[in-house]
Amino acid sequence: MSEHYLLRHRSVPHIDRLDVYRSQGGFEAFHKAVTSLKPGEVIEEIKKSGLRGRGGAGFPTGTKWGFLPNTLWPHYVVANADESEPGTFKDHEILESNPFQFLEGLMIAAYAVQAQRAYIYLRGEFWQLAQALDQRIAQLEADGLLGEDIFGTDYSLRLFTHLGAGAYICGEETALLESLEGKLGQPRLRPPFPATAGLYNSPTVINNVETLTNVPLIIGRGADWFRSFGTDKSPGLKIFSLSGCVNRPGNYELPLGCTFRELIYDHGGGIVQDHAIKAIMAAGASSVLIAATPEALETPMDYETTLEKFGAPLGSASIIVLDETVNMAWLAFKTIGFFKHESCGKCTPCREGTFWMNQIATRIMRGKATRADIHLLENVAQQIQGKCLCALGEFSIMAVLSSLKLFAKDFEQLIKVEHDG
Amino acid sequence: MTDKLVHLTIDNIPVSVPPDTLVVDAAKQAGINIPVFCYHPKLHPVGMCRMCLVEIGRPLLDRASGEFVRDADGAPKLQFSPKLETACTTPVTEGMVVITNSQKVADARREVLEFILTSHPLDCPICDKGGECPLQNLTMEHGPGQSRFLFDEKMHLDKHVPLGELIYLDRERCIQCGRCVRFQNEVADDPVIAFSQRGRALEIITQSTPGFDSIFSGNTTDICPVGALTTADFRFAARPWELKAAASICQHCAVGCNIVFNVRREALQGGRMVIKRVMPRQNEQVNEIWICDKGRFAYHYVESPQRLTQPMIRKDGALIEAEWDEALDLVAKKLTAYGASLVTLAGGRLSNEDLFNLYSLTHTQGGQAVLYSYMAGGDLTAQVGIPPQTDLGKLGAGCVILVIACDLHEEAPLWWLRIKAAAQRGASLIVLNPRTTRLDRYARHVIRYEYGAELAALSAFQPQSRGDLPEPVRSAVKTFQEAENVIILYGSEGLGLQESKALAHACAGLLIKTYHIGRSNNGLVAAWHNANLQGAWDMGFSPINNLAETLSKAGVTYVVATDPAGDDPQLAEALQHSGFLVVQDILMTETVKMADVFLPAQAYMERGGSYTSGERRLQRFYPAVPPPGNTLPDFAITARISQRLGRTAEEQSPARILLQIAATNPAYAEMDYQLLAQVHEQQPLMGRHDLYYGGTTYENRQGLGAHLSTAASRVEPLNIPDAPPPPVFPVQEGLLTVVPTTRLYDRGSLLIHSNLLHQRLAHPTLTMHPKTAEAYQLSRGQTAVMLLEKTPYRVEIDLDEDLPHGIALLPRSVGIPLNAPQAVKLRPES
């Protein structure tokens, strides 16, 4: 097995212990940043690396850090550990087994924007991880890596964990901030963006766990090292969460730009019972379905190509594989059910539209739908499109519209026999 | 650009508006209605309902030159966003092109409405909002007409959820726009309702005990764009289209909120016209579009079975119904005999016209015109009060508002809202009060003084005051001294009449010395405890210190619109001793029971008149319902008495009485009913045809009133009386000093008739610091007996750690006649 950098516990046993992590060069990047780099230099290095947000949007991380105005204080950094996209389970593994590298990344990010407080927002189900993180933060404080005047400089930093209450929407950064402030988790209006008015109305950086886990590597080994992986526009390594009808589901750390075929067949061991592959969801439940043609399988997985070729963003790279036994109407039904359950209810199209789609999809699955219902489903989905307050509502129709477009026959199989007259 | 306006076009109509104006408001100004549900011009936008989606194009900007990119014709090249944008959250920018009348926008409106209606019940025929419902109206205008949602799949939710005893929620009807929640958070600062759950389960809940514990709760029903929130009062009571609207002025405090009485004929009451509800009427200079719950729900006294509608004369010890002539002749006879020893005691809810006639009668008889009030200073506010062109709604940076001895949230709720808003706009608020009040959190400086030390606290602000003041006084004084404009507002917290007089004098003196008089945004304001106390002072009435003694010596006592005997056994006793007692009122009271002659008056909503607010804004109210039985307006009754004494007096038209007032009082010189009825366009635009935008608040078509001038603004010489002797704060060994406070929901003679507010009315509760309670061996919840002028009163003990030590607080008007600080004997009930 090749060397792992993000899932480093797979290469170095017990790296979740502080002494082991430090013996492997842990916190040297943080030390280097705090003692010998100016905050702006850290941001420059991240910009140079081309690191893009691993939470799903793929926004350049260094650019995001650079947005914080130096006229408004305090600054905050928030780690988004709400990992709740169905099919995504990479952050969980990092937090569980390689937590110090993530924490170091968070600390470097905090230094880069001169935040003295950083928060780790974890989904409520991660309560054990939160407890473990709390212990590790205490260890770092005991070791003088966190607290006042770190490494004898005048930089001070404290970290806190915060548990959500089990809402998918709280992975959306502004809903996350609301929840972190103790309010009902509903997305905020943008602008203003968190970079100027985020947590407690202060400039705030919000980064995904995996994004932050890349940071110590870049500061420690340099942007050029980082760029030696991946593609020009999507450099670096990425953890692909592979699930669905594959023989070996799991997290795979691979360079961006590797193909679906490599992931699914070379690493994932191919399709269960050697069934034919039918479709791929690249971004969990929020995916636009990709029909798994041979051409599609050869497509590199990066932030540009899948979007350009299939209109399907890579998102958080949670690759769900669907084989010929799966009816895509059923798949649409499942995603609709998920989004209906998770809609925060703030904006009308998402609140009402997901509920309505769920009613129609349920009729379809029960064999009680007519052809007109399929048309209605498509129409309702189109009515939601482009009208929502945040991305959740827009994501709720991705699988619906793409499955209707690519796999219309799957729906027609389920409609009730229509009698004339 | 030469001006500061932003230029854009909306549906090809050029519009120029100030920067930061939202597209929805800019369109409104151009006469284009962009439909909204969640947006409200008085609340921060949230962009939730998505009803206001429009197409927006912006000119392309060349980054290098900062100039617009232009096409061959020289027109700026436009860039349209691929998605529709929410007009309610998008501020205008220069050169913006907004399209609201395209097919794309029409489709979006139809689609969003179809979504909203999937969850909305089809109960318009029994819905209180039906007929004045934004959802109904916008559906008619933009909706699909037909739903593709299966009726059988509709979600059914609770339809009768009491959020409190005043406001009910119909969960099916709620469209989750959050206007109510935002109103409570942003405007009322009572975050007692909130969203709970998510998705289709999202619902409004109350988080307070008692439920929906806010004195502004009724406003949420006005701005609710559907029939989800209704008041316990109006719920299922009438259909909006059956209602007639009569403009009026709220009579429950000095603010003078503009309201509307909605009335209709009631079959159940024999076809009589009855009031069905009270609604706010927009006056941006007074109450904007809000009213408090007291103003909304306390009108029920007018239909009380205790209304008296026939004159009565005491015969053989009993009050016997009589004809007007007989009763008035008797009064005239007594006045002819004992006229010079006439004492007229008037209450502060009488109109200017009533008071003018009363004063004329009293004055010409050589009698004494006494105001039934525990506050003084109306002579001072008439001279150095805030003059015209002062607008509390516009005060901001550069202005100091000093509030002293006042719990404004309780004494004048709408002023609390507006002064809070002024502070949020940048006005420097200085609060001097002996205890914490809800105004403190908006104050730049909060100064605590001990009860009884209000004069000392204020003296620090004198120009010659020493420089070595302690904080926070020093900073407050600095702010005060640097202010361009200063308004001082005083209330009645812990004060009696003497204390009030001394404080008003000190406040006026400070304003005069610091030249904060005679100019707009400067002057003295009193938070009077009745609607027209300022008017009463202006008409010549003033309170006196020795009321009981004066009444007991009167040959004829003429008590109008007040109940001294019910309030205070001492005054009841004094009335026993006084000569002939004439009582004029609308309800049965203890004083009426003692009368020799009773004269039945009309409630203010049964006739016309004018009130002078605490800001000294003269405002006119109109008859809303016909008067019952054999009643007459107060001014007419008094006029008929005067006529019997051989004098002319106007008994028909309050308008003509105001002309007489104008001829005698220079502050009222320009005033007549036509002037008071004038209106001009107010921003934001609200009213009947714009229900979707501002809610069901009424457009003001009946008059905005007029601000009275002051002696200082007329540049007349001031006539400030000598400083009254400083009152001595009563402290006595072994006794507990009890100070009066004012409560909104007291047990006043009008409020006591509202069944709705009954649960919220104040009780005779003595509140003190736990240490004080300990010293007197009292504990929370215990009943104690308080001796006041030898009369024992039962009080319940409550504790509050925020209160100063050594004193106790007692609300006024809860059945205990404590209107000034007093050292009382207290013992646990045996």
CA distance A204 to chain B (A): 21
Length of chain B as a residue count: 830
CA distance A165 to chain B (A): 11
Whole-number Å distance between alpha carbons of B177 and B180: 8
Contact B197 A386 (CB under 8 A): no
Backbone φ and ψ of B152, nearest 5°: -65, -20
Q: Is B148 on the interface with A (CB under 8 A)?
A: yes
**Closest CA in chain B for residue A343:** B199
Contact A355 B197 (CB under 8 A): no
Range B6-101 classified under CATH 3.10.20.740? yes
Q: Is B82 on the interface with A (CB under 8 A)?
A: yes
Range B736-828 classified under CATH 2.40.50.360? no
Q: Is B470 on the interface with A (CB under 8 A)?
A: no
Q: Is B273 on the interface with A (CB under 8 A)?
A: no
Residues of B in contact with A378 (CB under 8 A): none
* Cis peptide leading into residue B472 (ω within 30°): yes
CATH dotted code for B114-231: 3.30.70.20
Residues B752-765, mean pLDDT to the nearest whole number: 91
CATH architecture of B312-373+536-652: 3-Layer(aba) Sandwich (3.40)
Residues of B in contact with A344 (CB under 8 A): 198-199, 202
Asked whether the beta carbons of A321 and A284 are under 8 A apart, the reply is no
pLDDT in tens, chain A (421 residues): 479 999 999 999 999 999 999 999 999 999 999 999 999 999 999 999 999 999 999 999 999 999 999 999 999 999 999 999 999 999 999 999 999 999 999 999 999 999 999 999 999 999 999 999 999 999 999 999 999 999 999 999 999 999 999 899 999 999 999 999 999 999 999 889 999 999 999 999 999 999 999 999 999 999 999 999 999 999 999 999 999 999 999 999 999 999 999 999 999 999 999 999 999 999 999 999 999 999 999 999 999 999 899 999 999 999 999 999 999 999 999 999 999 999 999 999 999 999 999 999 999 999 999 999 999 999 999 999 999 999 999 999 999 999 999 999 999 999 876 554 4
Contact A340 B199 (CB under 8 A): yes
DSSP assignment of A103-136 equals HHHHHHHHHHTT-SEEEEEE-GGGHHHHHHHHHH
**Closest CA in chain A for residue B110:** A383
**Closest CA in chain B for residue A348:** B49
DSSP assignment of B740-795 equals EE--TT---TTGGG-STTGGG---SEEEE-HHHHHHTT--TT-EEEEEETTEEEEE
Check: complex ipTM more than 0.85: yes
CB within 8 Å of B762: residues ≥ 6 apart: B743, B745, B746, B747, B811, B813, B814
Interface test with A, best of B152, B200, B204, B226 (most A CBs within 10 A): B200
Q: Assign B563 to helix, strand or coil.
A: coil
Asked whether the beta carbons of A408 and A401 are under 8 A apart, the reply is no
Q: Assign B661 to helix, strand or coil.
A: helix
Domain boundaries, chain A: 8-227, 237-323, 328-412
Q: Is B43 on the interface with A (CB under 8 A)?
A: no
β-pair type (B791-799, B783-788): antiparallel
Contact A184 B195 (CB under 8 A): yes
Contact B176 A346 (CB under 8 A): yes
Q: Is B83 on the interface with A (CB under 8 A)?
A: yes
CB-nearest partner of B48 from A346, A353, A376: A346
Contact A342 B118 (CB under 8 A): no
Contact A348 B115 (CB under 8 A): yes
Residues of B in contact with A373 (CB under 8 A): none
Provide the pLDDT for residue B753. Answer: 84
Q: Assign B283 to helix, strand or coil.
A: strand
Domain boundaries, chain B: 6-101, 114-231, 312-373+536-652, 378-529, 736-828
CB within 8 Å of B140: residues ≥ 6 apart: none
Q: What tokens were used for B198?
A: 């998510």
Whole-number Å distance between alpha carbons of A293 and B708: 83
Contact A347 B153 (CB under 8 A): no
Q: What is the pTM of this model?
A: 0.95
Residues of B in contact with A352 (CB under 8 A): 115-116, 118-119, 200
CATH architecture of A328-412: Up-down Bundle (1.20)
Amino acid, res. A140: L
B378-529 topology per CATH: Dimethylsulfoxide Reductase; domain 2 (3.40.228)
pLDDT digit string, tens, across residues B42-96? 999 999 999 999 999 999 988 888 888 888 888 889 999 999 999 999 999 999 9
Contact B175 A348 (CB under 8 A): yes
* Cis peptide leading into residue B828 (ω within 30°): no
Provide the pLDDT for residue B148. Answer: 93
Which chain A residues touch B if contact means CB-CB below 8 Å? 167, 169, 184-186, 189, 340-349, 351-356, 359, 376, 379, 383, 386-389
Whole-number Å distance between alpha carbons of A354 and A335: 10
Whole-number Å distance between alpha carbons of B533 and B378: 8
CATH of A237-323 among 3.40.50.620, 3.10.20.600, 2.170.16.10, 1.20.1090.10: 3.10.20.600
A8-227 topology per CATH: Rossmann fold (3.40.50)
pLDDT digit string, tens, across residues B4-16? 899 999 999 999 9
Q: Is B196 on the interface with A (CB under 8 A)?
A: yes
With 0-12 CB in 10 A as exposed, 13-18 as middle and 19+ as buried, what is A403? buried
What is the distance of C-alpha A31 from the center of its chain?
28
CA distance B103 to chain A (A): 14
Whole-number Å distance between alpha carbons of B587 and B601: 9
Contact A345 B197 (CB under 8 A): yes
Contact B119 A352 (CB under 8 A): yes
